[in-house]
């Protein structure tokens, strides 16, 4: 059936179970725009890869529908969906040369020799492997093999490319380089890309929007800055970046503000993002870089005494762990800049933070 909106990819009420009881994906409703780079992010078992495999056609939804360009693809086999696919293990044919690997999807589509050669040349130049067409995968590094896998997914000009943790086998430096390469290619081609990863830094680097999965459900769908700065629940706050968490009880609530009692420490002024009634439990989330050390008197609403327990030098910042508000693993990130106060383990310091930087969620 034709779609009712302009979404290029549309999941509508999609569920997936393998045993007839436990749902791996629960009522997935997701629209992906044409030309968008959307990342499905989440821990193992969260449902992100299963959702991608249903879109690719390697798994069938137990319930619901998936539309591609307004048409249902539920009964369409994978090879007829015209989707490029990049896997973590590259999935290259080891007995074929690079050019033969790239020619394979073109031969399946019955393109002529001259057209095949032109497309292969263009695809290899796109991934900066212009002189490697005659080599076999075993003669290439891991990063080069991943480039070939990406070129093969793009060589037949698909409108949609799916990438399933494609950089997981690469070392950190090469992985970060390939993240930018893939993003540059996406910007140049304007092709729609759906990317699966459990690496939140990777998702923040590459994505237009990120769908954060947990327990088969999208917890939040937003752009990188929105997810990091304004998480909507405690799971997203903890999964995206680093967070300090303080557990307490809601003592007062006034619109978007609330006051939370931390047992044995006092009250904290916070932003009421998703909290229950007064008297109920809540969990506060606070980014380490939002905590100020030795703030000017009266400059911040939340000020506490803390004892330094660990100091780790990390180049661009100093990661300082302190005991405060009854928690021994509260972390502060101090920028390594001129004028930054140095602290030593055992030192007693004062720390503080703004109310709007401290987000209160349903416990």
Q: What CATH number has the domain bearing residue 279?
A: 2.40.50.140
Do 157 and 39 share a structural domain? Answer: yes
249 assigned to some structural domain:
yes
Q: What are phi and psi of 327, to 5 degrees?
A: -115, 130
252 assigned to some structural domain:
yes
Task: Check which CATH number belongs to the domain holding 177 and give it.
Answer: 3.40.50.300
Contacts of 307 (CB under 8 A, 6+ apart): 322, 323, 324, 346, 347, 348, 349
Do 27 and 90 share a structural domain? Answer: yes
Nearest to 213, CA basis, from 7, 52, 13: 52
pLDDT of residue 151: 94
Cα 76 to Cα 79, 80, 85, 111: the distances in Å are 8, 6, 16, 22
Do 148 and 291 share a structural domain? Answer: no
Residue that finishes a domain, picked among 234, 269, 290: 234
Residue 338 has pLDDT above 80, yes or no: no
pLDDT (tens digit per residue) in 61-105:
999 999 999 999 988 998 889 899 998 888 899 999 999 999 999
What is d(CA 105, CA 79) in angstroms, rounded to the nearest whole number? 10
Do 185 and 252 share a structural domain? Answer: no
Contacts of 184 (CB under 8 A, 6+ apart): none
pLDDT (tens digit per residue) in 250-272:
999 999 999 999 998 899 999 99
Do 348 and 258 share a structural domain? Answer: yes
Looking at per-residue pLDDT, the higher value among 1 and 133 belongs to 133
Do 357 and 211 share a structural domain? Answer: no
Do 25 and 170 share a structural domain? Answer: yes
Do 276 and 212 share a structural domain? Answer: no
Per-chain mean pLDDT for the chain: 92
Q: pTM for this one?
A: 0.89
Do 79 and 209 share a structural domain? Answer: yes
What is d(CA 237, CA 273) in angstroms, rounded to the nearest whole number? 11
Do 216 and 259 share a structural domain? Answer: no
1 assigned to some structural domain:
no
4 assigned to some structural domain:
no
Do 251 and 278 share a structural domain? Answer: yes
User: Is residue 22 classed exposed, middle or buried when 0-12, 13-18 and 19+ CB atoms within 10 A define those classes?
Assistant: exposed
pLDDT (tens digit per residue) in 134-143:
999 999 988 8
99 assigned to some structural domain:
yes
What is d(CA 115, CA 121) in angstroms, rounded to the nearest whole number? 10
260 assigned to some structural domain:
yes
Residue 160 has pLDDT above 60, yes or no: yes
Q: Domain total for the chain? A: 2
Nearest to 155, CA basis, from 235, 91, 84: 84
pLDDT (tens digit per residue) in 167-213:
887 888 888 988 998 999 999 999 999 999 999 999 999 999 999 99
pLDDT of residue 169: 78
Structure tokens at 156: 């037949």
pLDDT of residue 248: 94
- Look up the domain containing 276 and give its range: 242-362
Do 324 and 189 share a structural domain? Answer: no
What is d(CA 40, CA 350) in angstroms, rounded to the nearest whole number? 40
Looking at per-residue pLDDT, the higher value among 331 and 172 belongs to 331
């Amino acid at each position: 059936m034709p779609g009712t909106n302009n979404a290029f990819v549309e999941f509508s009420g999609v569920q997936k179970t393998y045993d007839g009881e436990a749902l791996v994906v629960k009522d997935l409703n997701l629209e992906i725009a044409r030309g968008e780079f959307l990342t499905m992010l989440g821990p193992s078992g969260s449902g992100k890869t299963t959702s991608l495999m249903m879109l690719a056609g390697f798994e069938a939804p137990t319930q619901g529908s998936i539309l591609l360009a307004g048409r249902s693809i539920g009964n369409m086999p994978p090879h007829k969906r015209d989707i490029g696919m990049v896997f973590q293990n590259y999935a290259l044919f080891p007995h074929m040369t690079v050019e033969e690997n790239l020619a394979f999807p073109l031969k399946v589509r019955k393109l002529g020799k001259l057209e095949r050669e032109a497309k292969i040349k263009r695809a290899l130049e796109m991934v900066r492997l212009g002189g490697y067409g005659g080599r076999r995968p075993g003669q290439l590094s891991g990063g080069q093999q991943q480039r070939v896998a990406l070129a093969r997914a793009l060589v037949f000009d698909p409108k949609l490319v799916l990438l399933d943790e494609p950089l997981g086998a690469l070392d950190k430096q090469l992985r970060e380089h390939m993240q930018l390469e893939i993003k540059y290619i996406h910007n140049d081609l304007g092709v729609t890309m759906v990317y699966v990863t459990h690496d939140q830094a990777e998702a923040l680097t590459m994505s237009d929007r990120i769908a954060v999965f947990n327990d088969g459900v999208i917890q939040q769908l937003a752009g990188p800055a929105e997810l990091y700065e304004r998480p909507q629940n405690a799971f997203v706050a903890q999964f995206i970046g680093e967070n300090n968490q303080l557990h307490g009880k809601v003592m007062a609530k006034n619109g978007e503000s609330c006051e939370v009692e931390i047992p044995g420490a006092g009250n904290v002024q916070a932003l009421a993002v998703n909290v229950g009634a007064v008297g109920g439990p809540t969990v506060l989330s606070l980014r380490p870089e939002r905590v100020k050390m030795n703030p000017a008197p009266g400059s911040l609403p939340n000020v506490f005494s803390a004892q330094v327990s660990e100091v780790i030098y990390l180049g661009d910042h100093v990661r300082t762990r302190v005991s405060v508000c009854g928690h021994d693993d509260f972390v502060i990130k101090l920028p390594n800049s001129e004028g930054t106060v140095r602290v030593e383990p055992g030192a007693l310091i004062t720390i503080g933070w703004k109310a709007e930087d401290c987000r209160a969620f349903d416990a």
